[in-house]
Amino acid sequence: MLFLLTGEVQIGKTRWLESLVAELGAFGVPCAGVLAPGQWVPSTGPHADANGFEKLGIDNVLLPSGERIPFARRGDLARADGTFDEESRAAKAELAWLIDDAAIDRVNAHFDEITAHASAAAPVGAKPHSERSAEGAESKDPSRAPGLLIVDELGRLEIWRGGGLTSAMALLAQGPTPVFPHALAVVRDYLLDDTEALLAEAWPDRCRISPDDTGRAVILSACEFGA
């Protein structure tokens, strides 16, 4: 199953994901991929949210290691201090964020490593998790549970331009595997239809979810653990 996590900007999708990853880990379900927490500071300025915090940038946290790398900075801030790179991939795509090309390459290398490890871990002819569960082989056994692939997030670079996190897209394009029978991608609402069109063949089973208790229950059920 491919879960597409969506919702309004800055409603806590990544914080919800961080909590979900911790909960799945407690059940023995490994999560691999990337989370994209924001860099927030207290603020009373024009960019402050309703809680008095301002988002300056975005980090990427590589799963499962937890390695954190600076990934993006708000474009207006980068222009103000002269660090905005007009030749960057993000600038050419006219994004609101300055995304470091080297950071994109690092995250892609991480997904390449995940792909290699997953290929090595899955024996030739291995059955998908759903078939094994139907046979009763691994159902409800957290120590042997397959993992959840997480991509936070797929944006205009990936969906409209074929760039950005290309290695994450390539891994998603493989569809469900014995190692990752399920995947979750964070996608803005205006990109949902195009994302589904790109991945429809690989993931015929898809589900749009929100960062709430219903979304959590759906994923826990798919991973064979009750809410």
Would you state the pLDDT for residue 159?
Answer: 96
Would you state the pLDDT for residue 96?
Answer: 84
Would you state the pLDDT for residue 92?
Answer: 85
Task: Read off φ and ψ for residue 105, nearest 5 degrees.
Answer: -60, -40
Query: Is the peptide bond preceding residue 131 cis, with omega within 30 degrees of 0?
Result: no
CB atoms within 10 A of CB 50: 6
Give the pLDDT means over successive 10-residue stretches in the chain (227 positions): 89 92 94 95 89 92 96 91 87 86 96 92 51 41 68 95 96 95 96 97 97 95 72
pTM, 2 dp: 0.86
Would you state the pLDDT for residue 91?
Answer: 84
Alpha-carbon gap, residue 25 to 34, rounded angstroms: 15
Would you state the pLDDT for residue 139?
Answer: 39
Contact 88, 101 (CB under 8 A): yes
Would you state the pLDDT for residue 14?
Answer: 92
Contact 144, 123 (CB under 8 A): no
In 3D, which of 204, 202, 205 has the Cα closest to residue 218?
205
Alpha-carbon gap, residue 227 to 220, rounded angstroms: 6
Would you state the pLDDT for residue 84?
Answer: 87
Contact 187, 157 (CB under 8 A): no
Would you state the pLDDT for residue 225?
Answer: 61
